[in-house]
Amino acid sequence: MVKVIGGGLAGCEAAWQIANAGIEVELYEMKPHKYTPAHHYKGLAELVCSNSLKAARHDSAAGLLKEEMEKLGSLIVPCAKANAVEAGGALAVDRENFSDSVTEKIMSNPLIKVIDKGVEEIPEDGIVIIATGPLTAGGLAESIRKKCGDYLSFFDAAAPIVTYESLDKEKVFFASRYDRGDADYINCPMNKEEYLAFYNALITAESAPLKEFDKRDFKVYEGCMPVEVLAKRGEDTMRFGPLKPVGLIDKRTGKRPYAVVQLRKENAEGTMYNLVGFQTNLKFGEQKRVFSMITGLENAEFVRYGVMHRNSFIDSPKLLSPDYSLKENPDIFFAGQITGVEGYIESAASGIMAGINAVKRIKGEEPLILPQETMIGALTAYISGGCSGEFQPMGCNMGILPDLPVRIKDKKQKYAAYADRAIEALDITLKKS
């Protein structure tokens, strides 16, 4: 019997791997009796900050990572594909349908027993996988602190969601950048005057106050930069980031806008859309005031405002072995964002590896350590000792892979070569294991 604590993406992947190896699992999830500040839905594997699981292309870091996960028997990736919504080259899902799909798979597995209660301390007997996420709190957080030392931390932010019905259809247009996909995004075009008015309102808007403890440790993860923080870096920063107009033509004018805010489907029905790249910590009233200045959003109905929360993670390079177990106690495994991998699919991938290696430990076999030429192997190496300098969360990216033996100038060809090498290395490793 293996205990898995946490029913997020990492915990579900770990439990799935263990059960598919013929070993019983107890999966502990405190919902629906208790929720973190960021969680609201009753189901397992809840997506909070975005409905996007990043790019789907083989020659992208995220696409490669998902391909590796599928070869390892992922639960999450097939469920995501089965509940996908249009998002150009990204894999985006209807969040509730996705959660329901994962929950049904977990609940119907005869070797997985879901126990809906929180865990207040690390179990002392047997093998346990801690996958409670970056908002771990209460007694369990203190139990981990006693065993692992003080947490590291960063701040994460989520974007607002608006209803489709409330958009001004005369001002917005459907299109994907460079006409990729099937016009999957709603685009809100701005001319220079409109953009500058919005920019000035944004950088002077009032943010929600942080608690004293949070102020002391305030550090924003670059991948989830609040839009108001990004804007304060310079007048044109957003125009080279989430508001870039490149690859978009306003079909009403036949010209490229000065700036564009994109909206992406939040659910399969297309009744809700989130503001892409608009993670924020502004006060709710300020969000309504400032974001209503965006073309087409003048009368937008906000069904969820953006929020910001503090994420904690352990000092994994000092604490974890490459199999995701504690160096000081190899019967305790960690998985998910609490390890310092950043992102949903990265968290799920770490859950796969923790689950596989928990099984290996039970059977007395050597752990499965993937080569660093693979995306999962490179992420694992980073969090288990490959980080140089101050340890901060890391998501999948081609930069963490070892250099290719031959220099390739074309970026697309180079990334394709990285991906081809990774899959070949993974296939060879799995044949040997």
DSSP secondary structure string, 343-395?
Answer: SHHHHHHHHHHHHHHHHHHHHTPPP----TTSHHHHHHHIIIII--SS---B-
Task: Evaluate whether 372 touches 425 at the Cβ level (below 8 Å).
Answer: no
More confident: 256 or 304? 256
pLDDT digits (tens, 9 = 90+) for 268-319: 778 888 899 998 989 999 999 999 999 999 999 897 888 776 778 899 999 9
Question: pLDDT by residue (tens digit) across 357-386?
Answer: 999 999 999 999 999 999 999 999 999 986
For the CA atoms of the chain, what is the radius of gyration?
22
Does the pLDDT at position 219 exceed 70? no
Task: Return d(Cα 109, Cα 267) in angstroms, integer.
Answer: 27
Identify the residue whose tokens are 């919504």.
85
Domains of the chain, residue spans: 2-151+314-432, 161-309
Of 189, 186, 160, whose CA–CA distance to 174 is shortest? 186
Q: What is the pLDDT of residue 29?
A: 94
Stretch 385-395: mean pLDDT, rounded?
A: 73
- pLDDT higher than 90, residue 131: yes
What single letter denotes the amino acid at residue 399?
G
Cβ proximity of 324 and 333 under 8 Å: yes
CA distance 287 to 130: 36
* CB of 15 closer than 8 Å to CB of 106: yes
Tell me what the mean pLDDT of segment 396-417 comes to. Answer: 90
Q: How confident is the model at residue 89 (pLDDT cuts 50, 70, 90)?
A: confident
Using N-to-C axis directions, what is the helix angle for 61-71 and 344-363, rounded to 10°?
Answer: 30
Task: Sort residue 343 into left (φ over 0), alpha (ψ -120 to 50) or beta.
Answer: left
In angstroms, the CA 127 to CA 123 distance is 8
- Find how far residue 201's CA is from the centre of its chain: 29
Going by DSSP bridges, is the β-strand pair 161-163/173-174 parallel, antiparallel, or unpaired? unpaired
Q: Residue 422 belongs to what H/E stretch?
A: helix 411-432
**Burial profile 345-358: b = 16 or more Cβ within 10 angstroms, e = fewer:** bbbbbbbbbbbbbb
216 pLDDT exceeds 70? no
Q: How far is CA 236 from CA 196, 231, 262, 267, in A?
A: 10, 8, 17, 31
End-to-end, the C-alpha distance of the chain in Å comes to: 23
Q: Give the pTM.
A: 0.74
Indicate the SS3 state at residue 220: strand
For 413, the token pair is: 């060809």
Is 254 within 8 Å of 245 (Cβ atoms)?
A: no
- Name the architecture of domain 161-309: Beta Barrel (2.40)
How is 62-111 classified by DSSP, letter by letter?
A: HHHHHHHHHHTT-SHHHHHHHTEE--TTEEEE-HHHHHHHHHHHHHT-TT
Residue 419 CA to residue 268 CA, distance in Å, equals 30
CB atoms within 10 A of CB 361: 18
Indicate the range of 25-39, 218-232, 354-368 predicted with least confidence. Answer: 218-232
Q: What percent of the chain has pLDDT over 70?
A: 91
Q: Which CATH number fits domain 2-151+314-432: 3.50.50.60, 3.40.50.1110, 3.40.1350.10, 3.40.50.300?
A: 3.50.50.60
63 pLDDT above the threshold of 80: yes
